[in-house]
Amino acid sequence: MAIYKNDNGTWYVMIRYQDWTGARKQKCKRGFSTRKEAADWELQFKLQKKASVDMTMESFCTMYE
């Protein structure tokens, strides 16, 4: 879990993962108003990349498109 706070009071997530080809990638998502929002986004991102059945319907639809 790599969640950090910016100087301006917002939160951001830095996450490293492997894509479907096995290449290692890094993703940075900024602009969360709370730490919980950032943690929720990180969890959904991990579930989406694992293609887990526990992901939300919104994540599934985004991946399907």
Digit-coded pLDDT (tens) for 16-55: 988 777 889 999 999 999 999 999 999 888 887 876 566 6
pTM greater than 0.85 (yes/no): no
Q: What is the pLDDT of residue 40?
A: 92
User: Confidence band (pLDDT; 50, 70, 90) for 6?
Assistant: very high
Provide Rg for the chain, Cα atoms: 13
Q: HSE of 29 in the Cβ direction (CA atoms, 13 Å)?
A: 17
For residue 51, the number of C-alpha atoms closer than 13 Å in the C-beta half-sphere is: 5
User: What residue ranges do the domains of the chain occupy?
Assistant: 3-64
